[in-house]
Chain A
């Protein structure tokens, strides 16, 4: 079972003097998956990432990499992109990348070749011999991404990789992430941008106040938090006298589209039956699942209310 996951965190605990950063946190990142790590600021995401990067030692719990206990030897198989400021801005672009590659033990010639290829791929070749401090935030983020990936890691940890990127570069970053996944690389990334979670992530884990709130495959999580709401559309307008007319929240009156909220326990089959009996021209019927963003706000908001 452990072998199915590139990363497995079991019952990880980390305390600071007055603050519990991780409270028996579990996390399983399947091999070849893009996994989203969600949570508010201060939820414990960075502490968890630092434990995985072995920058911090958890007070309790176990971490496994590819089924084996995580050790320093695994570090060269992991690529890490911190949120920002993860660069020596007083260095030149190629110089910085070469420095990190050489520290990882890469031969100079090979490293220079990879750096040239990557800079070309990211449209940064003109910046190769310029200082990092002169680059925009988005460009710096791309250099960070190259630094994190140029040693072809098996597992990539990206902390807010879309920070500072415009839509074009954000799309490029998404493509790169998908390309890495296609090559068999697993990715764990933290983000606040929920629309990207649904687009990119095969699975998600949500932590809040150092505790697991939910975890699972993205679609399964959305289904789990379904609230018995159904999208529907008709070819022709539903008669106003129909008992369901008032219950439908019409999103688009002209196209006769809307959704209906059923009471807990109320069967969608019974509703469908009623529509068929009334000979309504139903053309579309699908469960309306909450977005990850709605689930996030719902769960974290509840946590807030309890406080």
Chain B
């Protein structure tokens, strides 16, 4: 097979230009982020504004708990007197959400406490009551056991630990959480982008298959050329969109920073609240300084570069597989090869990335970062933990070799599957055509 690069260039140009000028692309690129922001704002607004009030009637026969239950965040406690049946009746009559019954019991090892909902209580409602009850019992126990509050708090304090790692003869401080966070963000980003771009390729191939233009095209160009052109063009299209979002996001961030600074400058800091704000800002500033130090410490620039390389390589690998999948499925007719065949390795890799963040040098993390199906997601997760350079090299070489194999394989599947329309494609039939193509 002789590859004609000029034809591939023409295919890339067509696939890119015809998509980039569509209304849906322009809307998705420029209005998409705005829509996302509006959606997030609406979500937060609705969750704040529509916060439900929970009213709990408390019948405390022990006499030690009720006074220690404090109203908090739309959770209100009202004391009740009399028998349990009276309290139940009142609860229904006066439209309380639940009745909390605390019998005469040992405060240290209580038994028989009941929370009776008028309707089935939500988990959040139940948890909020439970937290309030825990706090009330803690206070009651301290009193009962005559333990001083200050003493108790000093005993309960967690032990601070400074995590150090030695590298290049130097000690580095406090980077585990930051490294975990960077790894998690990388994995999440890779998963979403590979899946989104892969699906885009799959749909593109699938829609081309539903027409007969592909017959005309394959009578003029090689399947490999058409496939490679499509993969590169849609990759470039996705990068264009991503770059536009980063560009708009950067300008939005600069704009917001300038606006926020101008607002803060004009604010007099004389009230106690302002003092607290100042303090909080200072604490925040210290944290930001620590964070930026940690980010510098884990070579964030290098990580971004390597994540970028893995994104491009991972895209080439997975897009070839998604393209093959698109060629095997008949548009809107069901059947064919289910898409989880390709989406499952991505999903599994994403789950393994949690493990990789927690135990970056474990065998699951190691193998996951070397095998090409999972390395585009797992190796970026491990990058912040400084994996040995040879592992990075083996992972990249394996991925690059697999890209060639995947595109070769996908081109054969593509040629075999793209013309099979109007009926369910069987594995046997596919194998026959695969061998011939």
What residues make up the interface of A, taking CB atoms closer than 8 Å to B? 16-17, 50, 53-57, 59, 75, 78, 80, 82-91, 99-100, 102-104, 147-148
Contact = CB atoms under 8 A, between A and B. Distances in A.
Interface residues of B, number: 24
Q: Is the interface of B mostly helix, strand, loop or mixed?
A: helix
A90 B25 CA distance: 13
B10 A102 contact: yes
A104 B220 contact: yes
A90 B210 CA distance: 14
Given A17-B428, A91-B14, A103-B220, 17 more contacts: A16-B429, A55-B215, A55-B419, A57-B436, A75-B219, A82-B212, A85-B210, A85-B212, A90-B18, A90-B22, A99-B14, A100-B220, A103-B7, A103-B10, A103-B217, A104-B220, A148-B216
Contact of B219 (A54, A83, A90, A91): A54
28 contacts: A17-B426, A17-B429, A50-B215, A53-B219, A54-B219, A55-B218, A55-B419, A57-B436, A75-B219, A75-B220, A80-B215, A80-B216, A82-B216, A84-B212, A85-B211, A86-B211, A86-B212, A86-B213, A86-B215, A87-B213, A88-B14, A88-B213, A91-B14, A91-B18, A102-B10, A103-B7, A103-B11, A104-B220
B437 interface: yes
Interface in B203-240: 210-213, 215-221
A5 to B, nearest CB: 21
A55 B222 CA distance: 10
A255 to B, nearest CB: 49
A86 B218 CA distance: 11
B429 A50 contact: no
Which among B10, B219, B429 has the highest number of chain A CB atoms within 10 Å? B219
Interface of B: 7, 10-11, 14, 18, 22, 210-213, 215-221, 419, 426, 428-429, 432, 436-437
A142 to B, nearest CB: 15
Contacts of B218: 55
Contacts of B215: 50, 53, 55, 80, 82, 86
Contacts of B212: 82-86
A55 B213 contact: no
Nearest to B425: A17
A87 B210 CA distance: 12
Nearest to A81: B216
Nearest to A54: B219
Contacts of A86: 211-213, 215-216
A100 B213 CA distance: 11
Contacts of A87: 211, 213
A88 B19 CA distance: 12
Contacts of B219: 53-55, 75, 78, 80
A84 B216 CA distance: 11
Contacts of A104: 220
Contacts of A17: 426, 428-429, 432
B216 A147 contact: yes
Contacts of A148: 216
A111 to B, nearest CB: 12
A123 B134 CA distance: 85
Contact of A50 (B7, B221, B419): B419
A55 B217 CA distance: 10
A17 B434 CA distance: 13
Contacts of B211: 85-87, 89
A53 B218 CA distance: 9
B213 A85 contact: yes
A80 B428 CA distance: 30
Contacts of A82: 212, 215-216
A75 B210 CA distance: 23
Contacts of B426: 17
A87 B426 CA distance: 28
A225 B267 CA distance: 103
B24 to A, nearest CB: 11
A91 B426 CA distance: 34
A103 to B, nearest CB: 5
Nearest to B215: A82
Nearest to B7: A103
Contacts of B11: 103
6 closest Cβ pairs, A-B complex: A85-B211, A17-B429, A82-B212, A57-B436, A85-B212, A86-B212
Nearest to A148: B216
A140 to B, nearest CB: 11
Contacts of B419: 50, 55-56
A89 B18 CA distance: 10
A194 to B, nearest CB: 24
A88 B18 contact: yes
Nearest to A103: B220
Nearest to A49: B215
Which among A55, A83, A87, A100 has the highest number of chain B CB atoms within 10 Å? A55
A90 B15 CA distance: 10
A104 B220 CA distance: 6
A151 B18 CA distance: 24
Contacts of A99: 10, 14
Contacts of B10: 99, 102-103
Contacts of B436: 57, 59
Nearest to A100: B220
Nearest to A42: B422
A99 B13 CA distance: 10
A46 B215 CA distance: 11
Given A50-B419, A90-B18, A103 B213 contact: no
Contacts of A90: 18, 22
Which among A78, A100, A103, A148 has the highest number of chain B CB atoms within 10 Å? A103
